[in-house]
Copies of this chain bind each other. A is one copy, B any other.
Amino acid sequence: MAKEKKVSQITDMDADFAQWFTDVVVKAELIDYSGIKGFYVLRPYAYAIWENIQQTLDRRFKELGHENVSMPVLIPESLLQKEKDHVEGFAPEVAWVTHGGEEELAERMCVRPTSETLFCDHWSHVLQSWRDLPMKYNQWCSVLRWEKTTRPFLRGREFMWQEGHTLHATAEEAQEETQQMLNVYADFCENTLAMPVIRGRKTDKEKFAGAEATYTVECMMHDHKALQGGTSHYFGDGFARAFGIQFTDKDNVLKYPHQTSWGMSTRIIGGIIMTHGDNNGLVLPPKVAPIQAVIIPIAMHKEGVVDRAKELEAKLKAAGIRVKCDVSDQSPGWKFAEYEMKGVPLRIELGPRDIEAGQCVAVSRATGEKRIVPLEGIEARVPELLDTVHKELYEKALKNLNDNTRAVTSMEEAKKVISEQGGFIKMMWCGDLECEMRMKDEVGVSSRCMPFAQERLGDTCPVCGKPAKAMVVWGVAY
């Protein structure tokens, strides 16, 4: 029996968003389920997106003086236990290696869930004087967390990420680094991925295990739920003390350095899908799209069409555009659907009449708008059109965020807004864990962050009536 690939329908996103998401990751050939719960194959198309993300971030990290390193994939249990809060946060969800070859290990080791302990152990060996500081390291790798509920990109038992780890002579310098890297993430989300963000600080309940402060960029998905785009942590000297990391300062005194870490993961690809996707499939922001423009020749049997299409491909490629000309024997209609499913930002149609008229038709994946574009000078026009698609995507996502973020001043209002409309709510908060828990129990939302852009919506915490300390953005999170 012959097996042939078909472009297939996907679930309506507004009818069943979760099923729509699953359909997209499979039909756009991003993911294959590996047969092991929570582990996924990143297929070439997904990995190419990740490579584009990596390249952009890596270049930025290096411009800011960071260096890449590689730490071991395994952490001995005794090492993981050195920092009390950290081990409490991670021990329940790690995978344990107990045997090497035929023999049982004297001490079991976990596959890294994150690498703070490994970086600290390393630094305790090599840090000597103030001359060695700052140490600004980054690692690209995968980590394991034994999650109960799993979904491609959003919550895997394995996921890929980068984890930056830095060591500084002073607290001020480390705090500055924490903010700087948060800004790198915010800028990356907005200007590379066309995803607007809310920058802010996590509450103590939501901060990273072992951190003094965690900062976040929060994004809103199509279904108005929140996704954390990237986080940046300030550790103070807590880890340095736990691991005995010291340096001789200029004044010849031994001191503890201050530390940060920050990370962004393949989860952000889930964010891209859920921010920009539609009922025709994936929609990719042009700056990370593996194929930025696809050329589809119309009436390929007509003389000259394939040749002209390939000339156009060569011209755009030479201009640095990631372009593909599809001359396979599928119909134009099949190809339209295929590249819509794959989220290619710009479709360029080229038929005999276009060639005669010295033009082509460019279609934005963001809006479906068709534009007649002269072939003369098209290599300068396509980058502009890609910028336009980026802006269209950003504006649409920003409108979604603004339209679905509502200020509330009472618990009744909070409950009503969340149950009837969903989205984010902005509300004042006294700073107590108890009120944060009540928001979860009674309203069904968690604190996303205390935005840097604070507003004074009132003087008291609507949960308990005590004086308010900060405005918090609340929502349901992935």
By a beta-carbon cutoff of 8 Å, the part of chain A in contact with chain B is 1-5, 32-36, 39-44, 47-48, 50-51, 67-74, 76, 79, 92-102, 108-109, 111, 118, 121-122, 125-126, 128-129, 131-132, 137, 141-142, 144, 146, 157-158, 160, 247-248, 252, 254, 328
Main secondary structure of the interface of A (DSSP, over half): mixed
Contact of A131 among B5, B34, B97, B254 (CB under 8 A): B5
Cβ of B69 and Cβ of A47 under 8 Å apart? yes
Q: Kindly state the separation between the CA atoms of A86 and B269 in the bound complex, as whole angstroms.
A: 35
Cβ of B2 and Cβ of A158 under 8 Å apart? no
Chain B residues with Cβ below 8 Å from A94 are: 100-101
Chain B residues with Cβ below 8 Å from A102 are: 92
Cβ of A47 and Cβ of B70 under 8 Å apart? yes
Q: Tell me whether A72 and B111 are in contact in the complex, defined as CB-CB below 8 angstroms, given that A5-B131, A67-B44 are known contacts.
A: no
Q: Tell me whether A98 and B98 are in contact in the complex, defined as CB-CB below 8 angstroms, given that A51-B68, A118-B34 are known contacts.
A: yes
Q: Kindly state the separation between the CA atoms of A271 and B128 in the bound complex, as whole angstroms.
A: 30
Cβ of B144 and Cβ of A73 under 8 Å apart? yes
Q: Kindly state the separation between the CA atoms of A92 and B99 in the bound complex, as whole angstroms.
A: 11
Chain B residues with Cβ below 8 Å from A70 are: 41-42, 47, 50, 142, 160
Chain B residues with Cβ below 8 Å from A122 are: 32, 34, 41
Cβ of B96 and Cβ of A92 under 8 Å apart? no
Q: Tell me whether A74 and B39 are in contact in the complex, defined as CB-CB below 8 angstroms, given that A95-B100, A101-B93 are known contacts.
A: yes
Q: Kindly state the separation between the CA atoms of A434 and B471 in the bound complex, as whole angstroms.
A: 79
Contact of A76 among B35, B158, B247 (CB under 8 A): B35
Chain B residues with Cβ below 8 Å from A32 are: 122, 125-126
Chain B residues with Cβ below 8 Å from A101 are: 92-95, 146
Which of A36, A51, A109 has the most C-beta atoms of chain B within 10 angstroms of its own C-beta? A36
